[in-house]
Amino acid sequence: MNNVVQLPPVGAVVERDGPVVRTHYGTHGEVSHGPLPEGGLDALVARQVEAFARRNEPVVWPVYGDARLAEALLAAGFGAEPARSVLVCPIGTDTTPLPRIGPDWASHQRVAELAAETGPHRRPYAEFLADAAHLDRSSEVCLDGDRAAWLEEIGDAMVVGGVTDPGFAAALVDHDWGRPEVRFLRAEAGGPLREAFKAAGLREVTTVTRYHLPSPGEPARTRPVRRLFAEPEHDEIWARFSEEFAFRPDMRDFPGITEPAHSATWHVGDLDDARLDALPDIVHKGLRESVVDGEELYWLDWHHAGYRFDPARVDGAGPRWPGFVFPDGDYHIHLTPDLRLGTFGHPWEETVCVFGDLLTRIDAELTAALGAPIRRSEP
């Protein structure tokens, strides 16, 4: 029994090595796999160790009742958590609503507090939030007073990421989650939580042991890319941008902002493929060169999720650069946290405004690729 591989989480990179799938989060890595070969297991494990070491990521490798793999991991230097039961039952029939929460950041912070006081959990809540699972239709978060649970739809199962109170287990087992494609509830648990799930009707099908290997050096503390939407940080950066640039969204009132001193605006509505490809390449290169060491950037999309990311850790071997420069249907904005430089893409005027030191770096190159700007604001 193995983890089901889904789309890469935000800010992660997925790589395959035969039956093994590595997910690189930038802060750590995880392994999942299908049936493993009879021979060459030590070499397969060694290749995964080397791949995570190159990225300086600690590794988590769950093992589902496979003694041969467990032996190979221990020989490679992994340490083991205590084994936990994997428990399964058909989805319940109770349609009474559970106290679910949506993009309410205060409630999610309360769940995070409860999660930190309990565990271990199959899916640490901090990772659940980092993947923006609280905004994903395939996920559920329940908060009932001082009891919380979080679940993810994986294949034909609702998989329990964590439960902070064994007394909440029965409600999860009995519940009809209203998803026709989901047939089972699955949980991983030990101690009192395991007994609570078994008492509620789940049966044990195997065990899981998580094996850990530290990184060669101090790993990164944050992922290369983090999604923002319900967080106060998202509202705060939008409020500062709107005030600083007098943002006025309108389909006819152009340019949409008070373009700052030392800015230039190019029309991009009629770009051919070559120039369309050149636009993000030039802007991304300029942004990387313009930020100071370790400085992150925001990419904002009006009325949609945005991102905070490290431009030095995206593209190449990292996750793709988040968002777009070309204003494809909505306002697309790059900003430094202090608002000193960036881009503003207007979807209705079909323009991109470049400002601050970024303009100094890419003015000539953009003009060569796109033609003369339609407006300039001098310093």
Same domain, 268 and 368: yes
* 132 pLDDT higher than 80: no
Whose CA is closest to 327, among 354, 364, 308? 354
Angstrom CA distances, 62 to 31, 84, 131, 134, stand at: 7, 11, 19, 24
Position 119 scores a pLDDT of: 87
pTM (2 d.p.) = 0.90
Domain ranges, residue 32: 13-80
- Residue 154 belongs to a domain: yes
Question: What rounded mean pLDDT belongs to the chain?
Answer: 93
- Domain boundary (80, 108, 128) is at 80
* 203 pLDDT higher than 80: yes
Give the domain CATH number at 127.
3.40.630.30
The angle formed by the CA atoms of residues 137, 139 and 140, to the nearest 5 degrees, is: 110
pLDDT tens-digit readout, 135-165: 567 889 999 999 999 999 989 999 999 999 9
- Domain boundary (34, 57, 80) is at 80
Same domain, 229 and 299: yes
- Residue 8 belongs to a domain: no
- Residue 73 belongs to a domain: yes
Position 136 scores a pLDDT of: 67
- Residue 349 belongs to a domain: yes
Q: What average pLDDT score do residues 294-301 get?
A: 96
Same domain, 158 and 250: no
Paired with 89 in beta bridges are 185
Q: State how far the Cα of 308 lies from the Cα of 285, in Å rounded to an integer.
A: 17
pLDDT tens-digit readout, 311-364: 999 999 999 999 999 998 899 999 999 999 999 999 999 999 999 999 999 999
Angstrom CA distances, 38 to 4, 41, 45, 70, 216, stand at: 21, 7, 13, 14, 29
Q: What average pLDDT score do residues 171-184 get?
A: 94
Are the C-beta atoms of residues 125 and 161 closer than 8 Å to each other? yes
Same domain, 351 and 249: yes
Position 230 scores a pLDDT of: 80
- Residue 217 belongs to a domain: no
**DSSP strand pairing (29-33 vs 20-24):** antiparallel
Residue bearing the bigger pLDDT, 132 or 228: 228
- Residue 219 belongs to a domain: no
Same domain, 74 and 96: no
Same domain, 243 and 360: yes
**Would you say the C-alpha torsion 93, 99, 104, 105 has a positive or negative sign?**
negative
Q: State how far the Cα of 345 lies from the Cα of 101, in Å rounded to an integer.
A: 34
Same domain, 234 and 372: yes
pLDDT tens-digit readout, 89-108: 999 999 999 999 988 889 99
SS3 of the chain: the string is CCCCCCCCCCCCEEEEECCEEEEECCCCEEEEECCCCCCCHHHHHHHHHHHHHHCCCCEEEEECCCHHHHHHHHHCCCEECCCEEEEEEECCCECCCCCECCCCHHHHHHHHHHHHCCCCCCCCHHHHHHCCHHHCCCEEEEEECCEEEEEEEECCEEEEEEECCHHHHHHHHHECCCCCCCCEEEEEECHHHHHHHHHCCCEEEEEEEEEEECCCCCCCCCCCEEEECCCHHHHHHHHHHHHHHCCCCCCCCCCCCCCCCCEEEEECCCCCHHHHHHHHHHHHHHHHHHCCCCCCEEEEECCCCEEEECHHHCCCCCCCCCCCCCCCCCCEEEECCCCCCEEEEECCCCEEEEECHHHHHHHHHHHHHHCCCCEEECC
**DSSP strand pairing (59-63 vs 29-33):** parallel
Report the number of distinct structural domains present in the chain: 3
- Domain boundary (28, 58, 80) is at 80
Same domain, 291 and 326: yes
- Residue 200 belongs to a domain: yes
* 5 pLDDT higher than 60: no
pLDDT tens-digit readout, 41-78: 999 999 999 999 999 999 999 999 999 999 999 999 99
Same domain, 54 and 138: no
Position 2 scores a pLDDT of: 42
Same domain, 189 and 261: no
pLDDT tens-digit readout, 249-281: 999 989 999 999 999 999 999 889 999 999 999
Q: What average pLDDT score do residues 225-241 get?
A: 93
Q: What average pLDDT score do residues 295-312 get?
A: 95
- Residue 214 belongs to a domain: no
Same domain, 184 and 248: no
Q: What average pLDDT score do residues 303-315 get?
A: 95
Same domain, 144 and 166: yes
Q: State how far the Cα of 119 lies from the Cα of 112, in Å rounded to an integer.
A: 12
Tokens of residue 354, six digits? 């470049």
The angle formed by the CA atoms of residues 183, 188 and 190, to the nearest 5 degrees, is: 140
Are the C-beta atoms of residues 342 and 309 closer than 8 Å to each other? no
At residue 133 the predicted structure's pLDDT band, cuts being 50, 70 and 90, is low
